[in-house]
Amino acid sequence: MIYLDYQATTPLAPEAREAMLRWLDGPDGSSFGNPHSPHRLGRQAEAAVEVARERVAALFPPGGRVIFTGSATEALNLALRGCAPAREGRTTAISAIEHSAVLDTALDLRGNTTILPVDRDGLIDPQVPLPDDVGLVSVMQVNNEIGTIQPTADIYARVKTAGALFVCDAVQAAGKVPIAEADLIAVSAHKFHGPKGIGALWVRGDVELRPLITGGGQEGGSRSGTLSPALCAGMGAAAKLALERMEEDAAHVAGLWCHALQLFGDWQLNGSAQARWKGNLNIRREGIDVARLMSDVRQAMFSAGSACASESGKPSRILGALGLTPEEARGSVRIGFGRYTTADELDAAAQMINHAAAQQG
Ligand code: PLP
């Protein structure tokens, strides 16, 4: 099996697994404490959670606070719904290529939502007009389907001038590139070689947030519920490793990208080639039915779009936002690679994919 779907999820780093095991089962039974219990067992678990929090915090801009959540989807819900005091009665603006965790949540908020368009390269114009009464803007840093890197610094500056809040979905950026400045930032451990089932929301110091989940008052009252020390430790170890290896991983990915461009020379690239995370090769070829291609090439795991959208069978709304026709979108594949991918794996997968594509005409 060749895994080329790094945007859907990434393999757990051995270092993250190791960090988790201690909190799943201690040989003397001493590592199962509730991190919110005041006794010694609880305090040990709490110490592990706080070490993890510091490691995760190192991903973000200085200052602010890290709230652990069950996923980035939850973190984005907390960001968009939780800042109601600043946003209510004003318009929410999001880019046309946001993940459904942002789009569906924004559409569910009370009040108006404006969609900010992207160009043919999958990039938002930094000078895009914002609504006069804008209260919140959400623009992702790296897109999950096409890998384009948005000009979030320019947009954040304009959002601040407008007196609004800026939310950034940094799920596909975290651990790969330095995270953008924003007021609220969401990340997910399983996208940077950590475990599934844990994410985080970073919140700038002065932002007022209402909880979505109430109860025991954990996470400073922002997100009640007992934390899993194992998941926190795994996320913390993955964050530390990603920061330590950021340049090495990026250089490895850049090498694979150049190689992949040659292997798929007959295909056309979707989205900007420059403003892009290079571990995401989203390409199309005329007359291809990707659903058939995927069933023909069973040894290589790649994607027809985002993992969440691919079950619907509808052409990708992200590729549609770039102006691609439904046929072009249906003929597009996303090949995602990263830290543990080898050039040999790319060679083998390209041979299978190109062969199956040629069979289709
Ligand atoms: N945002 C982006 C850009 C994503 O790629 C994903 C996952 O696919 C999410 C949000 C949701 O993350 P999670 O799986 O942690 O809910």
Instruction: Tell me the pLDDT tens digit for each residue of 153-207.
Output: 999 999 999 999 999 999 999 999 999 999 999 999 999 999 999 999 999 998 9
* Segment 312-320 long-range contacts (CB within 8 Å, at least 24 positions apart): 316/145, 318/97, 318/122, 318/143, 318/145, 318/146, 319/145, 319/146, 319/270
Q: What is the mean pLDDT of residues 117-144?
A: 97
pLDDT at 306: 53
Instruction: Please determine, for residue 349, whether its predicted confidence score (pLDDT) is greater than 60.
Output: yes
Which amino acid residue places its CA nearest to atom 8 of ligand 1?
8
Ligand 1 site, residue 152, Cβ cutoff 6 A: no
Residues marked as catalytic: 308
Instruction: Please determine, for residue 305, whether its predicted confidence score (pLDDT) is greater than 70.
Output: no
pLDDT at 315: 82
> What does the pLDDT look like over 311-338, one tens digit per residue?
566 789 999 999 999 999 999 999 999 9
- Please state, rounded to an integer, the average pLDDT across all residues of the chain: 95
The model's confidence at residue 101, banded by pLDDT at 50, 70 and 90, is very high
pLDDT at 122: 98
- Mutate which of 188, 303, 334 for ligand 1? The one with the most ligand atoms within 8 Å of its CB, which is 188
Instruction: Please determine, for residue 83, whether its predicted confidence score (pLDDT) is greater than 70.
Output: yes
pLDDT at 85: 77
Q: Are 6 and 279 in contact (CB under 8 A)?
A: yes
pLDDT at 26: 66
pLDDT at 309: 53
pTM for this one?
0.96
pLDDT at 307: 53
Distance from Cα 265 to the centre of ligand 1, integer Å: 30
Closest atom of ligand 1 to 142 CA is 3
The model's confidence at residue 249, banded by pLDDT at 50, 70 and 90, is very high
Instruction: Please determine, for residue 68, whether its predicted confidence score (pLDDT) is greater than 90.
Output: yes
pLDDT at 142: 98
The model's confidence at residue 29, banded by pLDDT at 50, 70 and 90, is low
The model's confidence at residue 310, banded by pLDDT at 50, 70 and 90, is low
What is the C-alpha separation between 7 and 144, in angstroms, rounded? 6
- Does 278 or 31 have the greater pLDDT score? 278
Structure tokens at 106: 């924004």
Ligand 1 site, residue 199, Cβ cutoff 6 A: yes
Closest atom of ligand 1 to 98 CA is 3
Distance from Cα 64 to the centre of ligand 1, integer Å: 22
Q: What is the mean pLDDT of residues 106-117?
A: 94
Distance from Cα 8 to the centre of ligand 1, integer Å: 8
* Percentage with pLDDT > 90 across the chain: 89
Distance from Cα 74 to the centre of ligand 1, integer Å: 10
Ligand 1 site, residue 99, Cβ cutoff 6 A: yes
Shortest CA distance to 139 belongs to which of 99, 193, 196, 194?
A: 99
The model's confidence at residue 299, banded by pLDDT at 50, 70 and 90, is very high
Signed CA dihedral, 90, 96, 99, 105: sign only: positive
Residue indicated by tokens 């114009």: 125
Ligand 1 site, residue 101, Cβ cutoff 6 A: yes
Ligand 1 site, residue 140, Cβ cutoff 6 A: yes
